[in-house]
Amino acid sequence: MLWVKESINEVLRKVDTNAETGLIDAAVKMRQKQYGTNVFEEEKKETLLRKILHHLSEIPTLILIAATMIAAYMAVFHPPDTIGNGWPKVFVILSIIIINTSLGIYQESKAEKALEALKKMNSFKTTVIRGGVRQIVEASDLVPGDIIELTTGDVITADARIISASSLQVDEAALTGESEPVDKDPNADINEDVPLGDRLNMVYSGCLVTGGRAIAVVVETAMQTEMGKIASLLNNTKKLKTPLQIRLKQLAKRISALALVAGVLMVIFGYLVHPVNPIDGATRYFVDILILAVALGVAAVPETLPIIVTMVLSYSVYNMVRKNTVIRKIPAVETVGNTSVICSDKTGTLTQNKMRIREVWHVRHDPISTKEKESFNTDQKMLVELLASCSNATIEHYGEDNEEHIIGDPTEIAIIRMLHDLGLDRVRAERDYPRVYEIPFDSGRKRMTTVHHDGDGYIAVTKGAFDRIPVKWDPELKAKAKEIHDSYAEKALRVLAVSIKKYDKMPTDLSIEALESDHEFRGMVGMIDPPRPESAAAVAMAKEAGIRTVMITGDHKVTAAAIAREIGILDEGDRAVSGRELAEMSNEELDNEVRNISVYARVSPEDKIRIVQAWTKQGEVVAMTGDGVNDAPALKAADVGVAMGITGTEVTKSAADMVITDDNFATIVDAISVGRTAFDNIRKTIAFLLSVNFAEIFILLAGMLTFGVSPLLALQILLINVVSDGIPGFFLAFEKPELGVMKRKPLSKRAGIFSAGLGGKIALGSICFVVLTFGAFLLGSYVLPAPGSAVTGYTGAYYDVGISMAFVVLSWASVINIFNVRSDLSIFKNSPLQNRGLFIAAMSTIVLTLIVALAPPIAEVFDVQTGLTPLHWLVMVGLAVTQLLVGEVSKLFRRRS
């Protein structure tokens, strides 16, 4: 049904609703059962089988499958003399494939759940009238027959027929491709075959209200809407990758290439140096070397790293939710942590967004502070009543909890609050001065005028800017009024003046020119939106963290500068500029001056984009806040777009990377702290995994080149990477913030993966692993007395003992290294028990390695020599612990440098 041709009364009859009161709750529930939720059908989720096939098709897994096939071939056609090189090897490699695939699917599922939760957090809301009460509901709860209210900035969430409208304009580009907003007309006469873009009495789901207001009745929801019919084109199921994940993928490719070259060289060296192994024979020796090279190729690639990065970011998303921040796009977590400039709105973000009248002046009396409201006389109270009578704001309390609902302009709300503080109420003001006519406020006139019945006559009341009030001035009064106005302005108070014009009878000429002329001045009030109590501390914390805070506001420069100075944004030597001054600057001048400007007043949305671009050219990571529709382009231009959850329009939230649910600047700083912690934990994971991966490449290649024997065997390498590194590494995602996380400068936007000392940490860890592993191998092969069961190689060295010791030492040392990378503090100042999951995983892995080395059946599978003497174990423990000691010494040097 098109709904456009029918009269509005016929439409209301067909959807069985009332334009004034809307649907009752029982009808809503019945229709929700009938029509379902107002959400688009999504693409079918990937099945478990498809996920398994996806993971099995990855290069590292394919390499392991090839190794399994080679091992199976050898087990069938060249059965060994011992159990250690037969079918158990096949089963172990298969187990590793299963473990890797299971971990990948498990973490992927957790990430999908996180994204689903984010979708729920980011759902749109709509104002509806149900049972005669205006309320805000989730868009998914809308049903046909709901009466909805639309205002500028709203995203339309269902197809609806317009009942009434005032200057309604709708951007339907998402649906029709038409770039210009459409002027809607509820009374338009529309034919049934009219194109979608010309249906002027309808509004459609997914479109944006760019101007005006409207009341409409919902006629279609979900897949029955025009947008729902093409929902398959709007599916948003594409998986997001963070910039860091992309860089890590590129790094993994380079490591894979390095490992491939190393594997080829290892096979060549092994075969050329010792073409025939006298113990196993040429074929078995060559196949063992080939499997070892395959194992190296798999082990060298940190395949768990992308999974852990996703875990870290997902965990951080939930940490931010606890701090009143909703991340709309997971990659934003990474960028938030590196924010170096916050361009913040003043009103509601740095201030309380609750205008309060602080000073009142009636022309017959001296100015008085509202702190002395108990001393207000009749004239002063009447002045507030006059202001209230010329206001449209309402403060209502309803519901079981007597919840306060505020509707209206903040300036007018301050007047109503003052009225209540004086023990008066809106009902009395309307009774004393019933309104009969209104000239609405507009930005050109900067005033509003209402006409009221006043006893036997009528009175026109005008409130507005002091310099626009239509008063027939007496020179002496004007001078006094200007003096008081300027004194208010010096206190950063917003001044609102009021004047009246009396009539004996209802005026017949209701034009602006007639009603707004020759007024009698009555007085003025000074109001301010005071800073939030926590703003100054948050600005100071950001400054200590190397983050510059810039105030951008539509308020006057004097007011903005006063607030900025009070909370620590405007320091000595910093500049405050107005929109006019900014417009006079060229882009080059702004680029040169941007670091000296801390306050921008009276700026336009286009100015915000210029400011963002100027900071970006300086190499800074910029976060920009916004709440209005016009702020959306600036939010998109910034590295991090921050929308306000309370005052922000749905369009602004859609354009943003994150939403601050309490509209508080301090929350942005808290979110940066969480983002920095996430980035730190990712860097710790990189250091933990890559240090041992690089070491393994060098150990195998150098061992084969030097001794013709690898100090580590294929299954041992795989066990170290999957168990010793893989399991504890997951728990780095849950590390708490470092001490001083907000006392250091953010990383540069151009910083690489290995910047800020990370490359040095990886190099030190790798060198230590190489030295300790070769030390264990050489001591076991040549120096320590061999246990009775050891078999000598053709060179006379006890390689089986050396290989076993190298495996245990590298396995333990890699686990112990996690306590080096988890914090820059000494292990004695940062207890391992603070992350219990990590500690338990590390200890379990150490015990598991011990079981592999001591239990004969398992040891035989992994080619580990049993029967090692206490001296061997003492040496292995000493070497493994050395990794921790080296880490402690390096931390000591870093702290002193």
Q: Supply the residues annotated as catalytic.
A: 345
Amino acid making up residue 731: F
The Cα–Cα gap between 327 and 307 comes to 19
Residue pair 110/330 in contact by the 8 Å Cβ criterion = no
Q: Phi/psi at 555 (nearest 5 deg)? A: -75, 175
The Cα–Cα gap between 493 and 359 comes to 9
The Cα–Cα gap between 856 and 858 comes to 6
- Read off the DSSP letter of residue 531: B
Of the candidates 179, 261, 172, the one whose C-alpha atom is nearest the C-alpha of residue 225 is 172
Residue pair 590/582 in contact by the 8 Å Cβ criterion = yes
Task: Please name the residues in contact with 897: beta carbons below 8 A apart, sequence gap of 6 or more.
Answer: none
Question: Angle between the 799-816 and 870-896 helix axes, to the nearest 10 degrees?
Answer: 40
Residue pair 659/653 in contact by the 8 Å Cβ criterion = yes
Question: Angle between the 48-56 and 87-121 helix axes, to the nearest 10 degrees?
Answer: 120
- CB neighbours of residue 793 within 10 Å: 18
- Read off the DSSP letter of residue 471: B
Amino acid making up residue 524: M
Residue pair 176/196 in contact by the 8 Å Cβ criterion = yes
The Cα–Cα gap between 335 and 621 comes to 8
Residue pair 616/335 in contact by the 8 Å Cβ criterion = no
Query: In this structure, what token pair is assigned to residue 600?
Result: 């921008």
Residue 15, classed as helix, strand or coil, is coil
The Cα–Cα gap between 449 and 338 comes to 50
Identify the residue whose tokens are 């070892």.
292
The Cα–Cα gap between 723 and 718 comes to 8
Task: Please name the residues in contact with 366: beta carbons below 8 A apart, sequence gap of 6 or more.
Answer: none
Residue 221, classed as helix, strand or coil, is coil
Name the pairing type of β-strands 520-528 and 494-503.
antiparallel
The Cα–Cα gap between 446 and 141 comes to 40
Name the pairing type of β-strands 159-171 and 182-183.
antiparallel
428's enclosing H/E stretch is helix 426-432
The Cα–Cα gap between 554 and 600 comes to 8
Name the pairing type of β-strands 325-327 and 658-660.
antiparallel
Q: Phi/psi at 430 (nearest 5 deg)? A: -70, -30
Residue 366, classed as helix, strand or coil, is coil
Residue pair 122/14 in contact by the 8 Å Cβ criterion = no
Q: Phi/psi at 368 (nearest 5 deg)? A: -135, 140
- Residue 335: how many CA atoms within 13 Å on its side-chain side? 24
Straight-line distance from the first to the last Cα atom of the chain, in angstroms, rounded to the nearest whole number = 75
Q: Is 769 buried (19+), middle (13-18) or exposed (0-12) by CB count in 10 A?
A: buried
Question: Angle between the 799-816 and 758-778 helix axes, to the nearest 10 degrees?
Answer: 150
The Cα–Cα gap between 746 and 748 comes to 6
